[in-house]
Amino acid sequence: MQKPNERLKEQTCIVTGASSGIGEAIAKSLGMEAGNVVVNYRKDKEGAEVVADWINKNSDCGNAITLQCDVSKEDEVKAMFKSTIDHFGTVDVCVANAGIQKDYPLHEMPLAAWQKVIDVNLTGQFLVAKEAILEFLKRGMRQDVSKSLGKIIHISSVHEEIPWAGHANYAASKGGLLMLMESICQEYAPKKIRCNSIAPGAIKTDINKEVWSSNQGMDDLLKLIPYKRIGIPEDIGSVASWLASDESEYINGTTIFVDGGMTCYPGFTTNG
Ligand code: NAD
């Protein structure tokens, strides 16, 4: 068995939306497993470069570059994959992490806010998964580096399962992601492609800063988390590395909830 910190040796990983938050932690964790990492960003070039520099300084043989791309634009996604393959030779792991929220009560939600969230959170994940699969199939097995032809990890949310009033566009995008992930598994598992999701609960990042930055917001949030702490991006990074590695080879077509028990509906603890 490879050393725990070399589980992705000689493998190339793309992480979308990796200039901050969960994507940043995933990129660093994959880099520490000796993988080559593409730190994708949409606008925050500087943030992405800080992440790539961190990997290049701290990992023994992980090697990171940054690539700009809006995941909701097909031509940009194609260009990102082409640049990755030109630079590193292939893609072995694709972590579709980029995601946004645009919250409104449903009856006030502009079509543009619905569409934008679906474009990034669902269509964006379709576009990167498609390009990854095309490359996996074209390249063929690399038995010396992995037992799988390639690995796709979608970053979903507990809201692929828990409905979310005031966030219907977000919940619909993540619910759609569940079926996208399972359908990819059903279609490509026979080719030895693995496709899974990680569903974070509440993780302390910019996306939910409004909630955790006030004492009241944090108190309310902790009522939803049986484990009684907010998650940190590294909670997701470590699961992503394991899920990308051969240690989880037989896991395919499933969602791993990393949520401190949030999906156990703690509101029913005393009122069931
Ligand atoms: P974040 O805002 O720090 O990260 C989102 C990243 O996606 C940012 O780097 C942003 O620039 C990037 N991005 C946005 N639109 C993009 C586009 N069109 N193309 C490329 N990149 C784009 O928030 P986060 O919490 O780290 O979110 C990461 C993922 O985790 C999202 O998919 C989110 O839905 C999911 N998630 C987060 C939480 C949480 O509590 N933080 C919970 C469940 C799921």
192-233 residue pLDDT tens: 999 999 999 999 999 899 999 999 999 999 999 999 999 999
> For residue 1, is pLDDT > 60?
no
Q: Is 47 among the domain residues?
A: yes
Q: Is 248 among the domain residues?
A: yes
Task: Give yes or no for residue 99 CB within 6 A of ligand 1.
Answer: yes
Q: Is 272 among the domain residues?
A: no
CB 88 within 8 A of CB 31: no
User: What does the buried/exposed string (b/e) look like for 132-162 if buried means 16 or more CB atoms within 10 Å of the residue's CB?
Assistant: bbebbeeeeebeebbebbbbbbbbbbbbbbb
Three-class SS of 147-202: CCCEEEEEECCHHHCCCCCCCHHHHHHHHHHHHHHHHHHHHHHHHCEEEEEEEECC
120 secondary structure, DSSP code:
I
CB 251 within 8 A of CB 40: no
Task: Give yes or no for residue 208 CB within 6 A of ligand 1.
Answer: yes
Mean pLDDT of 127-153: 98
For tokens 């949409």, what's the residue? 42
Share of the chain above pLDDT 90, in %: 94
> For residue 3, is pLDDT > 60?
no
Instruction: Tell how far the Cα of 144 is from the centroid of ligand 1, in angstroms.
Output: 33
Mean pLDDT of 113-133: 98
Residue 30: burial class (beta carbons within 10 Å; 0-12, 13-18, 19+): buried
The pLDDT confidence band at residue 2, using thresholds 50, 70 and 90, is: low
Instruction: Tell how far the Cα of 87 is from the centroid of ligand 1, in angstroms.
Output: 25
Share of the chain above pLDDT 70, in %: 98
pLDDT tens column, 155-181: 999 999 999 999 999 999 999 999 999
| pTM of the predicted model as reported, rounded to 2 decimal places | 0.98
Instruction: Tell how far the Cα of 160 is from the centroid of ligand 1, in angstroms.
Output: 15
Which of 207, 213, 235, 263 to mutate to test ligand 1, by most ligand atoms within 8 A of the CB atom? 207
| Residue numbers of the domain that contains 69 | 12-264
- C-alpha–C-alpha distance, residues 198 and 65, integer Å: 24
Mean pLDDT of 151-157: 98
- C-alpha–C-alpha distance, residues 96 and 154, integer Å: 5
Q: Is 2 among the domain residues?
A: no
Our count of domains for the chain comes to 1
Task: Tell me the pLDDT of the chain averaged across its residues.
Answer: 96
* Both tokens assigned to 256: 């791993």
pLDDT tens column, 42-55: 999 999 999 999 99
> Is 170 annotated as catalytic?
yes
Q: Is 4 among the domain residues?
A: no
* Both tokens assigned to 74: 């097909």
Q: Is 6 among the domain residues?
A: no
Atom of ligand 1 nearest to the CA of 159: 43
| Catalytic residue from among 41, 104, 170, 250 | 170
The pLDDT confidence band at residue 60, using thresholds 50, 70 and 90, is: confident
> For residue 186, is pLDDT > 90?
yes
Q: Is 76 among the domain residues?
A: yes
Q: Closest residue (by CA) to atom 32 of ligand 1?
A: 99
Mean pLDDT of 27-55: 97
CB 22 within 8 A of CB 29: no
Q: Is 269 among the domain residues?
A: no
**Per-residue confidence (pLDDT) for residue 34, from 0 to 100:** 85
CB 151 within 8 A of CB 243: yes
Instruction: Tell how far the Cα of 251 is from the centroid of ligand 1, in angstroms.
Output: 24
CATH of the domain at 198: 3.40.50.720
Q: What are the backbone dihedrals phi and psi of residue 10, each rounded to the nearest 5 degrees, phi first?
A: 65, 15
In this structure, the dihedral spanned by the alpha carbons of residues 200, 206, 211 and 215, taken in order and rounded to 10 degrees, is 110
